[in-house]
Amino acid sequence: MAHSAETMPAPAEVTTVCCVGVGTIGGGWAAYFLARGFRVRAWDPSAEAEPKLRRLIDAAWPALTELGLDEGASRERLTFHTDLGEALEGAQFVQESAPEVLELKQELLANLDAAAAPGVVIGSSTSGYSMTEMALNAERPERFVVGHPFNPPYLIPLVEVVGGERTSAAAVRWASGFYERIGKSVITMDREIPGFIANRLQEALWREALHMVDNGEATVEQIDRSITEGPGLRWPFQGPMLTFHLAGGEGGMAHMLDHFGPSLKSPWTRLDAPELTEKLRDDVVEGCAAEDARAVRELVAERDRGIIALRRMIEGRRCESS
């Protein structure tokens, strides 16, 4: 169970990573690692995998170039392997992005564990399984972490990091440090919960939307436009909590919860709200202050500048394409 940090390379010394499974997500990771200047060793058992991977990387490269390539970034640094042991040679980090089939993941992780050099941390892109269940057959479960990206991994910064019950704290720290070093926005969770964080929020919205279509309450187009022309214009700048912090006016989240708390009893979604206890109220109010302590007035001004810039950018793109 012990996992000695000494056996792990320092994140800054990593020059070679292995991408195991290179479909949409794994291929997106490969493109991102190449843009950050790594040597990437790819493995995938599918016959079509290599040409598909190269097409995906070629398609992503202009975007990655526009966002800025790191020193040494080159598509030439990709090698493709059909033998897993060969793919892992020299790899100092492994990103696994195999299909979401539990038995397959369990077997694959055991094989990775047997073949990868000791001390190498292995991250999984899974969006559905806990590391506790996936690493069931691994001899060294302490080095396995979830590193859950968002599609497309070469453009969306978010990575959710969480270990399983037998993962070492050192491996979780290492993975978070490594992803941060390569420019990702990392959320390190201290416990496994199904769907992690972003997918739980996204899934709640998606299920409410499906209910609405199911009941003829809204069309697909209306649902999408209600977001793209509504709250979707605020969410790149301020998340759902700060959004309601601002909705409280100068009194912020405290005013919002104290005055609009009763609306949690309204049938505005099929999801029941938790009881708004004193503790929950305080946790949310203090959480907003901890996240951004500036006055609501300043946050409003910042949000507005962001929305204006976004709307002008969207307008500009519409004019270009018409």
Q: How far is the CB of 33 from its own copies (least distance, A)?
A: 18
Per-position b or e across 126-144, b if 16+ CB within 10 A of its CB: bbebbbeebbbbbebbbbb
Smallest separation (angstroms) from its own copies to the CB of 49: 14
Of 18 and 296, which CB lies nearer to its own copies in the complex structure? 296
**Six-digit token string for 101:** 């089939």
Strand extents, DSSP E, 44-92? 78-81
As measured in angstroms, the least distance from the Cβ of 158 to its own copies is 4
Interatomic CA distance for residues 260 and 300, integer angstroms: 19
Q: Which is nearer to its own copies, 36 or 41 (CB)?
A: 36
Rounded least distance, CB 36 to its own copies, Å: 16
Strand, helix or coil for residue 147: strand
The DSSP element (H or E) to which 94 belongs, if any, is strand 93-96
Cα–Cα nearest to 74, from 41, 37, 40: 37
Q: How far is the CB of 104 from its own copies (least distance, A)?
A: 15
Q: By the 8 A CB rule, do 244 and 253 touch?
A: yes
Find the farthest-apart pair of alpha carbons in the chain and give their distance in angstroms, rounded. 62
Helix H or strand E segment including 149 = strand 144-149
Compute the least distance from the CB of residue 60 to its own copies, in Å: 8
Least CB distance to its own copies at residue 155 (A): 5
- For residue 149, list its beta bridge partners: 159
Per DSSP, 90 falls in state: T
Q: Order of strands, edge to edge, in the sheet holding 185-188?
A: 78-81, 39-43, 16-20, 93-96, 121-124, 144-149, 158-163, 185-188
Where residue 46 falls (left for φ over 0; alpha for ψ -120 to 50; beta otherwise) is: beta
C-alpha 190 chain-centroid distance: 16
Measured from the CB atom, the residue of 71 and 221 that comes closer to its own copies is: 221
Length, in residues, of the chain: 322
- C-beta closer to its own copies: residue 10 or 67: 67
d(CA 15, CA 188): 23
Nearest to its own copies of 84, 296 (CB atom) = 296
Nearer to its own copies, 10 or 201 (CB): 201
Q: Which residues contact 224 (CB under 8 A, 6 or more apart)?
A: none
Q: By C-beta, is 104 or 193 nearer to its own copies?
A: 193
Work out how close the CB of 250 gets to its own copies at its nearest, in angstroms, rounded to a whole number. Answer: 10
Task: Return the number of the residue (139 or 190) whose C-beta is nearest its own copies.
Answer: 190
Shorter beta-carbon distance to its own copies: residue 72 or 99: 99
* In the complex, least distance from residue 37 CB atom to its own copies, rounded to whole angstroms: 19
Q: Amino acid identity, residue 82?
A: T
